[in-house]
Amino acid sequence: FCGTDVVKDEPTNNVPDLIFTKLGLQLHRRDNHPLGILKNAIYEYFDSNYNNQFLKFDDLCPIVTTKQNFDDVLVPADHVSRSYNDTYYIDAETVLRCHTSAHQAELLRKGYTNFLVTGDVYRRDSIDSTHYPVFHQMEGVRVFSPNDWKDSGMDGTSYAADDLKASLEGLARHLFGAVEMRWVDTYFPFTNPSFELEIYFQEKWLEVLGCGVMEQEILKRGGKTDNVAWAFGLGLERLAMVLFDIPDIRLFWSTDKRFTSQFTKGQLGIKFKPFSKYPPCYKDMSFWINDSFTENNLCEIVRGVAGDLAEEVQLIDNFTNKKGMTSHCYRITYRSMERSLTDEEINELQWNVRDQVQSQMNVELR
């Protein structure tokens, strides 16, 4: 895969088979898929506003080194995102990229100064209608030279920050029309200052993307000491769910014609019509946790057993007794997007989940 053999039997490997099956599917490269339609709409915006200057990469290998994923973008050594609980490791130095920022540094080093990187990214996470362990991001980078800002009366950083905000406000209007927007200050290891853009959509403030002025250290290491740059990263599913009215993130992976046939190349405005809503089934399970328990590990087991039939895993009760033992009760929602499930098959899933949770997590079922 991507010119490398994927090692599966490393002791440090925490990538389950379900995740391996997603490698290479590249939903963002399908012109009739909502993610491909959205990617193309963003391309169109940059092409027409920047005279086709932005180079586009959407086929970079998602298997990257920890150096690319973390060190090159200045993620601190003790940052949570480096943990085995948050990131899929193939071996101790190789991960499934957890963000498209993993490619910033190498592309800068190769001399590119205006580029967009789209790709599948991987994160261990909880289970609900907006979280899936594989999703898609687009990264944008634009590098400026002293000539660009010298007549502006501004320093390079302010110039880049102004240009960044104007570009991304334009992008939001291109995608969402005349919406209300606001900028929120935030923190990312790779940018300073850092911002989030939020838009007011369907009575809620929605976070659309993260961005900022690239840390000088990243440019310096890329051989661009005198330059200033901006960068942004956005999640395609999050935007596509809003733009196409897609209610559950699992649908992006559906091969059901009733889903796939509703989308057409070049048509961003189309609203998805749910073909049917099959009934959910709830199953609760309680157990005494131990020190190594994490919700991400539980969710990995649930997905391993139930795959895309798992709709949500929710902590509904949590208490510690006098002896200091902590009990968790989780409610698992099973539902297919495509058909009705039988009681029999759900019971079997639930017994399997209980079995594996007990044997793999060493918790005591109650």
191 interacts with ligand DAH by CB under 6 A:
yes
210 interacts with ligand DAH by CB under 6 A:
yes
Which span sits near ligand DAH by CB under 6 A: 125-133, 231-239, 268-276, 330-338? 231-239
Show contacts with ligand DAH in window 95-114 (CB under 6 A). 99, 101
Nearer to ligand DAH, 161 or 231 (CB): 231
Nearer to ligand DAH, 10 or 86 (CB): 86
70 interacts with ligand DAH by CB under 6 A:
no
Considering only residues 35, 105, 199, 231, which one is a binding residue for ligand DAH as defined by CB under 6 A? 231
Considering only residues 212, 215, 224, 246, which one is a binding residue for ligand DAH as defined by CB under 6 A? 212
Considering only residues 46, 115, 188, 330, which one is a binding residue for ligand DAH as defined by CB under 6 A? 188
Considering only residues 232, 244, 252, 330, which one is a binding residue for ligand DAH as defined by CB under 6 A? 232
Q: How far apart are CA 152 and CA 147, in angstroms?
A: 10
The helix-helix angle for 34-49 and 236-243 (nearest 10°) equals 100
Phi and psi of 266, rounded to 5°? 85, 0
Give the amino acid at 263. F
Least gap, CB of 92 to ligand DAH (angstroms): 22
222 interacts with ligand DAH by CB under 6 A:
no
Least gap, CB of 134 to ligand DAH (angstroms): 14
Phi and psi of 341, rounded to 5°? -95, 145
Report the relative pairing of strands 228-235 and 134-144 from DSSP bridges.
antiparallel
The helix-helix angle for 34-49 and 156-176 (nearest 10°) equals 130
Nearer to ligand DAH, 104 or 336 (CB): 104
Chain position whose Cβ is nearest to ligand DAH = 233
164 contacts 232 by C-beta, under 8 angstroms: yes
Which span sits near ligand DAH by CB under 6 A: 13-21, 27-35, 188-196, 253-261? 188-196
Report the relative pairing of strands 204-214 and 191-201 from DSSP bridges.
antiparallel
139 interacts with ligand DAH by CB under 6 A:
yes
69 interacts with ligand DAH by CB under 6 A:
no
Distances (CA, A) of 174 to 177, 208, 256, 266: 6, 13, 30, 14
| 287-318 per-residue burial string, b: 16 or more CB within 10 A, e: under 16 | bbbeeebbbbbbbbbbbbbbebbbbbbbeeee
119 interacts with ligand DAH by CB under 6 A:
no
Which span sits near ligand DAH by CB under 6 A: 183-191, 219-227, 282-290, 341-349? 183-191
Residue whose token pair is 């014609």: 257
33 interacts with ligand DAH by CB under 6 A:
no
88 interacts with ligand DAH by CB under 6 A:
no
Which span sits near ligand DAH by CB under 6 A: 83-91, 204-212, 249-257, 262-270? 204-212
156 interacts with ligand DAH by CB under 6 A:
no
Nearer to ligand DAH, 160 or 211 (CB): 211
- Binding footprint of ligand DAH, residue count (CB under 6 A): 12
Which span sits near ligand DAH by CB under 6 A: 64-72, 226-234, 259-267, 286-294? 226-234
138 contacts 108 by C-beta, under 8 angstroms: no
- Write out the residues near ligand DAH by the rule CB under 6 A: 99, 101, 139, 188, 190-191, 210-212, 231-233
